[in-house]
A and B are shown apart, each in its own frame.
Chain A
């Protein structure tokens, strides 16, 4: 491991120097030409920039200092200590960034989610006190906003009311961006140099180290989602070559490795830095940071961390999962400041153990407001629920309102999605209940193996699609069956109004269907409503369908194929 790192450390420094030399040799004529051309084109722009800067000065103007994280100084030791198990990566990154004013090749920092990539990089810049520009591809959800965000930062432009929250430059095309970026960078670097010159005389202004400017582009993998033309990634990777400015450092941060960005446009010249996932020990170290009662917390982590690490090692996941558990853990204690002995530890373990398994299963827990809980009318179910944290899921009855018609429609959609269409005739023939017998005979004819494989296949395929007609046919069948069965709740409700209203159950079925569709219980495929080629698909889980069926007292399992 060590040897590997040292070799990788050696390689880039050599590379950089070589590259730097090459650049400085080749660059000068290029840069001159470009600046002359662009200066002529941007003379009107510079005027507006002056105006803008005037407006800014009305409120509070940004300075170069704002591009540096310089609230407090951070020593290297502090930096390394604040990121457990990131020593290697921090040192490597610092080495790659190089000493002051040295050019660098683009860096590509990658690693799993929540492994500290962004924070590490930002803290390194805080430590180095070098100016940087940060853009996240989540916040910048299209090319224009990404470009303008970079330019705004570079031009020290701030959106506010007086300028109508507009950007400094309007920029949508990559070609415009390159031009504008080039101008902005050169003026910025000039300013940096000027500041440096000044700061020699007046030391107070000196907060910025060096005359390099770094562009950090975070969440690079999101570009693939929003950039449909897929020109953006090759463009960004080539930006360094296009700009040909040694004063610019590019850092890409991504969740996926460099291999996933390979495109046909050519090689990607960037140096990868990998952030490995945390181990259980690392996690423990991270969680132990800033704890008020480390002993108690460590005994808590002893219990909790191992089962969770088996599932996920993402810091954010584990944090959200264990923070409510810690509260539970401390519940039996009167004083959370105590150092637990073996006995209390054992007691606490016994207390917490059922909750751990519960929260392991749970992905998204929604606590309800305690005051509401107490005053709610359904006290009984709630009281039961308190013993089990995830009571909302375990509630057996339907917990929301739906008209009977919609319920039947939902069930029929579920059936239509689950059962093969060929079975409809045998399941829902006119005799209704007797279909059950037929189905049994049919299934017994088949050999078990065949049936099993088919079952598997059905399960793998997921819910099938069905045309409207089939849905309506099944709907009519099951609603009529339900109405004539003797021991049912529904007909008794009808008892109040049997006068001809029953037949009207069809009246606004289509309206109900559309509302089910909009509630995402049934999904709709196809485009043109006139063509009639629309196919539907039920999107409800079996649990949900069973719940609905239970509320209607409808024997759903009787109608399910291969059950």
Chain B
């Protein structure tokens, strides 16, 4: 079971084979959740004297199922995410495309040199000193993110988009701008991409002659440099100045991706900056993208997988505080899915949940399997809680459809709430976290709501974390027009869910009525502002808003029940933070230290296990040395260290002797007799090797020139 899970987790997504793709930490898979006592008995019963063989068969079948269903589901999620990101970028891409056209026209307006002149190396001067003839058109694509991983795909997409619009595109990465290879390196890549021919001595004049040849002449050359701040500034500056010399002869248009303008200013010297005629574009911010992805993956499209409050909070914090990349969020989702499939016994049997039409055909035609599945499902704790007597397929179907219905309602309410929060800087992820904790939500809502009714000055008491309350407050403060818009969008969102939709429509009819009246009032009385009508309008507005706010509150209370309370929730629900955390972060340093100190736990040899963590000569050298470092402070005297190492290894030293006396095991003594006849040299060699290993693992640092006999411990604490 374990290897399946690992192999699932390890291959990076085919999307980005770039080296920026973060790595995966491999872990031992968690054992599947042990069925409860009752379950075990039933499983034992069901296959009628289950042989071990048969069990194995089921295991293999299960594994296959898991793998398949994981692949299937992840494919879908991946696809959704890509589509969402593409949609986000589409607008910016269009803008860039338009700008590229404009710039190309501007360059062409400076005159089209004939073939002979275009390939001559001297610059072309035309009388008018327009900026187009002296500067490179540059689109500055602000990624607004320190991390670059998320944007790798974006820039690849941009390249594809521009190519489809008929530009020649070359995509350079920061790796091409290394100080070692200089301008030659990036020119080489540039020429290889444009000409699709390898060139021995890359020279920009080659590009000029290529461009004048054949039918290349009609379209602009676009060079995309995706992460400027990682580039070697001087090399990039050289390239820019070089391209500037050829600016009319080769209509090159640059598109550079950079986190901020400051970063660009820091990277490039001013003489290179002067060669650029810039235009700024902004990509979607990570938070925007995050919201879109969360909306698509967790709300809009249902993939038969949802995460609980703890996991969501963990992911959110990880995103905000530690990693800040969408990539790692997606990876975490993936890992969560793997874990979920592994841990939950029936989690993988829910093809039926995904294609919403036919619940009954799940598990395929294999009725035997279906039987087994249902049985397993019936063992789920969530089902057992409300003790139900009759057990057959109907319950299963009922339960499933109920689960689905619940989910639909929940998503609907969530989307409605987000619709409000969208324009008020409330991120979906925050909202999602809070919505998953409905007990707290409901209890507080009622209390808070009543208080609010009494006194509006309690605004200040509004907590920062209470996004739902904020939203209700926002609804209450919305101007009439906005409210009308909001209701309209709610109406669209709730289509298909009659319960909520009807209420929304009711509200809408009220507002439209209201809407029409005040508008007429306003038009009529705009010149003579009668105080009365104003008050009237206001009052109507406030009652209306109050109604909408009550509606929101009620729907939350009614439909936002915790998913844990629904039977069969385990099939789709995952909320095991610890599993996810260890899988995601791994904490390799701590692991190394812990393992070094407790090597006997892994080796399981008879000699070491008895005396716990005390060093013994049969232990691994590195382990001995690291155990010894624990006695030292910040600095370790090399000589002392070596002596104690030697004493342990060569003969049971003072400590070991004492230990020996305390634990007179014959094996121990045998073991300690053997290494006595070791030479000093071999001990030293062992010592050196062990120290080097410690150094490589990053636990100690070699002696400095100042204090040649002292080593420094680098990592502390577990």
For residues 444 through 460 of chain A, which have their beta carbon under 8 Å from a beta carbon of chain B?
Answer: none
Q: Are B587 and A139 in contact (CB under 8 A)?
A: no
Chain B residues with Cβ below 8 Å from A166 are 200
Chain A residues with Cβ below 8 Å from B508 are none
Say whether A556 faces chain B, with CB atoms less than 8 Å apart: no
Q: Which stretch of A16-24, A97-105, A294-302, A518-526 is in the interface?
A: A518-526
Given A165-B195, A363-B273, A392 and B261 contact (CB-CB distance below 8 Å)? yes
Q: Are A226 and B182 in contact (CB under 8 A)?
A: yes
Return the chain B residue nearest A368 by Cβ. Answer: B280
Produce 1/0 per residue, A273-311, CB < 8 A to B.
000000000000010011000000000000000000000
Return the chain B residue nearest A286 by Cβ. Answer: B129
Chain A residues with Cβ below 8 Å from B265 are 363-364
Q: Are A368 and B287 in contact (CB under 8 A)?
A: no
Q: Are A401 and B144 in contact (CB under 8 A)?
A: yes
For residues 254 through 303 of chain B, which have their beta carbon under 8 Å from a beta carbon of chain A?
Answer: 259-267, 270, 273-274, 276-282, 285-287
Chain B residues with Cβ below 8 Å from A417 are none
Q: Which stretch of B134-142, B339-347, B605-613 is in the interface?
A: B134-142
Tell which of A141, A142, A153, A531 has the most Cβ of chain B within 10 Å: A141
Q: Are B205 and A149 in contact (CB under 8 A)?
A: yes
Say whether B50 faces chain A, with CB atoms less than 8 Å apart: no
Chain A residues with Cβ below 8 Å from B229 are 519-520
Say whether A387 faces chain B, with CB atoms less than 8 Å apart: no
Say whether A560 faces chain B, with CB atoms less than 8 Å apart: no
Chain B residues with Cβ below 8 Å from A72 are none
Say whether A164 faces chain B, with CB atoms less than 8 Å apart: yes
Q: Are A405 and B322 in contact (CB under 8 A)?
A: yes
Say whether A201 faces chain B, with CB atoms less than 8 Å apart: no
Given A504-B585, A505-B321, A400 and B142 contact (CB-CB distance below 8 Å)? yes
Tell which of B128, B273, B280 has the most Cβ of chain A within 10 Å: B280
For residues 348 through 395 of chain A, which have their beta carbon under 8 Å from a beta carbon of chain B?
Answer: 363-369, 371-372, 376-377, 392-393
Say whether B99 faces chain A, with CB atoms less than 8 Å apart: yes
Q: Are B199 and A165 in contact (CB under 8 A)?
A: yes
Chain A residues with Cβ below 8 Å from B122 are 118, 122, 134, 136, 216, 218
Chain A residues with Cβ below 8 Å from B242 are 138-139, 141
Q: Are A60 and B273 in contact (CB under 8 A)?
A: no
Q: Are B121 and A519 in contact (CB under 8 A)?
A: no
Q: Are B146 and A521 in contact (CB under 8 A)?
A: yes
Return the chain A residue nearest B208 by Cβ. Answer: A159
How long is the Cα–Cα vector from A469 to B122 in the complex, in angstroms? 54
Q: Are B260 and A403 in contact (CB under 8 A)?
A: no
Say whether A28 faces chain B, with CB atoms less than 8 Å apart: no
Q: Are B121 and A135 in contact (CB under 8 A)?
A: yes
Q: Are A148 and B201 in contact (CB under 8 A)?
A: yes
Chain B residues with Cβ below 8 Å from A119 are 123, 125
Chain A residues with Cβ below 8 Å from B115 are 60
Given A139-B245, A158-B209, A519-B229, A149 and B314 contact (CB-CB distance below 8 Å)? no
Tell which of B182, B187, B320 has the most Cβ of chain A within 10 Å: B320
How long is the Cα–Cα vector from A496 to B140 in the complex, in angstroms? 37
Given A66-B120, A139-B121, A144-B201, A530 and B279 contact (CB-CB distance below 8 Å)? no
- Distance (whole angstroms) from the CB of B203 to the closest CB of chain A: 5
Chain A residues with Cβ below 8 Å from B276 are 364
Chain B residues with Cβ below 8 Å from A404 are 320-322
Q: Are B465 and A496 in contact (CB under 8 A)?
A: yes
How long is the Cα–Cα vector from A399 to B276 in the complex, in angstroms? 22
Q: Are B203 and A160 in contact (CB under 8 A)?
A: no
Q: Are A401 and B287 in contact (CB under 8 A)?
A: yes
Chain B residues with Cβ below 8 Å from A516 are 146
Q: Are B120 and A507 in contact (CB under 8 A)?
A: no
Q: Are A406 and B120 in contact (CB under 8 A)?
A: no
Q: Are B120 and A134 in contact (CB under 8 A)?
A: yes
How long is the Cα–Cα vector from A401 to B321 in the complex, in angstroms? 11
Q: Which stretch of A175-183, A190-198, A264-272, A317-325 is in the interface?
A: A317-325
Interface size class of chain A, counting residues whose CB lies under 8 Å from the partner chain = 35 or more
Q: Which stretch of B353-361, B542-550, B694-702 is in the interface?
A: B694-702
Chain A residues with Cβ below 8 Å from B241 are 138
Q: Are B95 and A371 in contact (CB under 8 A)?
A: yes
Tell which of B140, B145, B324, B701 has the most Cβ of chain A within 10 Å: B324
- Distance (whole angstroms) from the CB of B507 to the closest CB of chain A: 27
Say whether B569 faces chain A, with CB atoms less than 8 Å apart: no
Q: Are B203 and A139 in contact (CB under 8 A)?
A: yes
How long is the Cα–Cα vector from A521 to B319 in the complex, in angstroms? 20
How long is the Cα–Cα vector from A286 to B127 in the complex, in angstroms? 10
Say whether A493 faces chain B, with CB atoms less than 8 Å apart: yes
How long is the Cα–Cα vector from A532 to B701 in the complex, in angstroms? 6
Chain B residues with Cβ below 8 Å from A504 are 581, 585
Say whether B34 faces chain A, with CB atoms less than 8 Å apart: no
How long is the Cα–Cα vector from A303 to B464 in the complex, in angstroms? 53
Q: Are B702 and A141 in contact (CB under 8 A)?
A: no
Q: Are B245 and A290 in contact (CB under 8 A)?
A: no
Produce 1/0 per residue, B209-248, CB < 8 A to A.
1100110000000000000011000000010011001100
Q: Are A401 and B146 in contact (CB under 8 A)?
A: yes
Chain B residues with Cβ below 8 Å from A259 are none
How long is the Cα–Cα vector from A148 to B92 in the complex, in angstroms? 43
How long is the Cα–Cα vector from A135 to B242 in the complex, in angstroms? 12
Return the chain B residue nearest A532 by Cβ. Answer: B701
Q: Are B140 and A515 in contact (CB under 8 A)?
A: no
How long is the Cα–Cα vector from A164 to B198 in the complex, in angstroms? 9
- Distance (whole angstroms) from the CB of B516 to the closest CB of chain A: 29
Q: Are A399 and B140 in contact (CB under 8 A)?
A: no
Across the interface, B201 reaches (CB within 8 A) one of A158, A167, A323, namely A167
Chain A residues with Cβ below 8 Å from B281 are 368-369, 372
Say whether B184 faces chain A, with CB atoms less than 8 Å apart: yes
Chain B residues with Cβ below 8 Å from A289 are 127
Q: Are A519 and B259 in contact (CB under 8 A)?
A: yes
For residues 531 through 550 of chain A, which have their beta carbon under 8 Å from a beta carbon of chain B?
Answer: 531-533, 539, 541, 544
A sample of 22 cross-chain residue pairs with beta-carbon separation below 8 angstroms, ordered by A number, consists of A118-B122, A135-B121, A140-B203, A141-B182, A216-B122, A316-B134, A366-B261, A366-B279, A366-B280, A367-B278, A369-B279, A372-B282, A401-B286, A404-B322, A406-B146, A497-B316, A497-B317, A505-B321, A508-B585, A515-B146, A519-B147, A541-B262
Minimum-distance CB pairs A-B, first 10: A403-B324, A134-B122, A400-B144, A404-B321, A368-B280, A532-B701, A497-B313, A401-B286, A366-B280, A366-B278
Residues of B within 8 A of A (CB): 92, 95, 99, 115-117, 119-123, 125, 127-131, 134-135, 140, 142-148, 182-184, 187, 191, 195, 197, 199-201, 203-206, 209-210, 213-214, 229-230, 238, 241-242, 245-246, 259-267, 270, 273-274, 276-282, 285-287, 310, 313-314, 316-317, 319-324, 423, 433-434, 463-465, 581, 585, 587, 695-696, 701-702, 704, 712, 714
Known: A167-B201, A226-B182, A290-B128. 7 other contacts (CB 8 A): A60-B115, A320-B134, A369-B281, A400-B143, A497-B313, A519-B263, A532-B714
